[in-house]
Structure 1
Amino acid sequence: MTATMRAVVVDGPGAPDVLRVRRVPIAEPAAGEVLIRVRAFGLNRSELHFRRGVAYSGSFPRIPGIEAVGVVEAAPGGEFRAGTQAATMMGGMGRTFDGGYAEFVTVPAAQVIPFRSDLPWEVIGAVPEMLQTAAGSLRVGVGAHRGDSLLIRGGTSSVGLALAVLAKLQGMTVFATSRRPQARTLLEAVGVDHVLVDDGSIAAQVRAIAPAGVDGAVELVGVDALRDTLRAVRRGGTVCFTGMLSDEWTIPEFYPMDWLPNGVRLTAYAGEADDLATADLQEFLDAVADGSAKVPLGRVYRMTDIVQAHRDMEAGTAGGKAVVVP
């Protein structure tokens, strides 16, 4: 008899209520694959885009979810021992093959990242994709250095909060935006030095504090905010385009001489599992355990709450990284 599990299945694109919890067969791992018992999975806006049917890749029906953490159940190729704590993400998860919104997930061994931690699973579940995106945006996208100043456009998003945590660990001066004045407490709790209320034009607010502009910025709102963000950065500084909270992805008429201030660089960052090294994940989890870093964990849900979880993600009311514990 085929073993089954509970999973969230999407038969076709639509509103949050297209997410249905069902019993489905557990995919048997082949050589080169790893079966992971999922203990927690984070929610990401790319899953919202997939559920709506506007993602650039993927097919239905599908178990969504681009990340998960848990314990290795089986690895026929011998890459990992049963019982190993592991994270997995990206690489087609939840798009071209079934993803992490389930009690078990089968993934290629190359996208499994082992770790050891006694932190609660809901805390660990918030980390992998958020850490990979934030760390990559800082290191690869912005090319940030210790002591730099950094603007985070979209600071109350999960990646924005993680960026603030990582930047403060590097002694950086952090500016972060939110459209909601009441978000000040949340942003200051993760170390933000200058909270800016985003009225659509924040470059002048930044330069009132740092007249020459900040050293770097990470754009998490979208291209509708990007032009203004570029004008908040000093000559020789860099803006990394990482997120699209506004769902504005493309610039219809891009005239570089008009868009780009003199000497300001524009880059982008979109990482994969191999962009998060085992040592980096372990170091961050250890830092959380000893109190020197903080995970911006938002609401925690059960699998049966998945529809409400997506509604909260759409509304931006999760208060940090939303996590599901199946």
Structure 2
Amino acid sequence: MQMMHAVVVDHPGAPDVLSYREVPRPALKPGWSLVRVHGFGINHSEVFTRQGLSPSVEFPRILGIEVVGEVAATTAPDQFTTGQTVISIMGEMGRAFDGSYAEYVLLPNEQLYPITTDLSWAELAALPETGYTAYGALRGLRLQPQDHVLIRGGSSGVGMMAAKLAHALQPGIRVTSTTRHADKAATLQEQGADQVLTGELTHLPAAATFDKILDLIGPKTAKDSLQHLTPGGIVSSTGELGGQWAFDAFEPIGDIPNNRYLTSFSSGEVEPQLLQELVDLVTEKHVDIHPTKVFTLREVAQAHAEIESRQGWGKYVVVIEA
């Protein structure tokens, strides 16, 4: 039996339940391909699952909802070749079946997306969930050259990526990002924000208006965001950083001002061409997508601990060297 290293959660708990150990390498089965993992991002949803806040997930489980790597073996040789670079996102990976916190992961063929790129594994690992979410949400905002865009939750991985991608998509726009921590303002400006609002901004300043708002805090602030749009403006409520998954109450006629619009974006609905568009945009526009911090597979528990303690911010990735 071939073995591999993986990070296994036997039961929900603190970061120390993430156990680095040897386990059997997954065996190929019809309709699935084996991917050699080269990297993945650490996501807030994985922290929530490890804490036991995802009722549908059964343990023990190898977490990880995204992966970048290469095809090690496949049951679809007409679609994939051994050694081909692929990305996979969501699709119950790390939830209904074992995910990417491992040296190898077994994935449904329909969930593999070939990518052509010269990016490093660390750079590519920063893109799947974070970059795809930011890019898809920005496209939904229909950015115009002179837009003033607000990113609520700007110090998150998606928020920082969105600031960079927004300028790459429309160089003439102005980006304002929010963060609860004043000491992060300078870094956010280095990462693409033209202006930073700091503090516990459940409600924005009364006079503040924006053409487009990417609200990563989610239902906790989305209704407030709608009140700060210019005519024709759009709010994309994408993410739940505020810890609230649904509106307490929502009345479209009362909560959406006239001639303003509310949309969202889910990385669970993957459009393969958008992934390649994203990679091409990053390459052609020389977007700096280096992750905030890179960990080894053995250090996944440390990454979780930093994110959970709010010490960690930006994009954390794991890279598995050959």
Structure 1 residue 81, shift from structure 2 partner: 0.9
TM-score of the superposed pair, with normalisation by structure 2: 0.91
Identity of aligned residues (%): 37
TM-superposition CA deviations, 1:118-163 (whole Å, max 9, x none)? 43322211111112101111123x2333432211000010000111
Q: From the superposition, tell whether residues 206 and 303 of structure 1 become closer, same or farther in structure 2 (CA, over 3 Å).
A: farther
Q: From the superposition, tell whether residues 120 and 236 of structure 1 become closer, same or farther in structure 2 (CA, over 3 Å).
A: same
TM-superposition CA deviations, 1:282-326 (whole Å, max 9, x none)? 303523xxx621115111111221111101112333342101123
Cα separation, 2, equivalents of 1:26 and 1:143: 44
TM-score of the superposed pair, with normalisation by structure 1: 0.90
- For residue 236 of structure 1, give the secondary structure of its aligned residue in structure 2: strand
For structure 2, the residue ranges without an aligned partner over 5 or more in a row are none
Cα separation, 2, equivalents of 1:262 and 1:311: 44
1:235 aligns with 2:231: yes
Q: Which moved more, 1:270-279 or 1:73-82?
A: 270-279
Aligned residue identity for 2:50? R
**8 A contact 2:307–2:313 mirrored in 1:** no
Cα separation, 2, equivalents of 1:270 and 1:98: 21
Partner in structure 1 of residue 177 of structure 2: 176
RMSD of Structure 2 on Structure 1 (CA): 2.0
Partner in structure 1 of residue 276 of structure 2: 279
Aligned residue identity for 1:302? T
Q: From the superposition, tell whether residues 325 and 205 of structure 1 become closer, same or farther in structure 2 (CA, over 3 Å).
A: farther
Cα separation, 2, equivalents of 1:206 and 1:50: 39
- For residue 7 of structure 1, give the secondary structure of its aligned residue in structure 2: strand
Partner in structure 2 of residue 320 of structure 1: 314
For structure 1, the residue ranges without an aligned partner over 5 or more in a row are 208-212
- For residue 60 of structure 1, give the secondary structure of its aligned residue in structure 2: coil
**8 A contact 2:89–2:267 mirrored in 1:** no
Q: Kindly tell me the number of residue pairs found equivalent between the two proteins.
A: 316
Q: How does 1:15-34 map to 2 (within 5 A)?
A: 15-34=14-33
**8 A contact 1:9–1:64 mirrored in 2:** yes
Partner in structure 1 of residue 110 of structure 2: 110
Partner in structure 2 of residue 35 of structure 1: 34
- For residue 203 of structure 1, give the secondary structure of its aligned residue in structure 2: coil
1:216 aligns with 2:212: yes
1:198 aligns with 2:195: no
Partner in structure 2 of residue 265 of structure 1: 261
**8 A contact 2:122–2:290 mirrored in 1:** no
Q: Which moved more, 1:217-226 or 1:52-61?
A: 52-61
**8 A contact 2:160–2:192 mirrored in 1:** no
- For residue 221 of structure 2, give the secondary structure of its aligned residue in structure 1: helix
Aligned residue identity for 2:280? E
Cα separation, 1, equivalents of 2:184 and 2:6: 34
Cα separation, 2, equivalents of 1:95 and 1:82: 26
Structure 1 ranges of 4+ moved more than 6 A = none
- For residue 6 of structure 2, give the secondary structure of its aligned residue in structure 1: strand
Which residue, 293, 302, 318 being the options, matches 1:299? 293
Cα separation, 2, equivalents of 1:248 and 1:185: 28
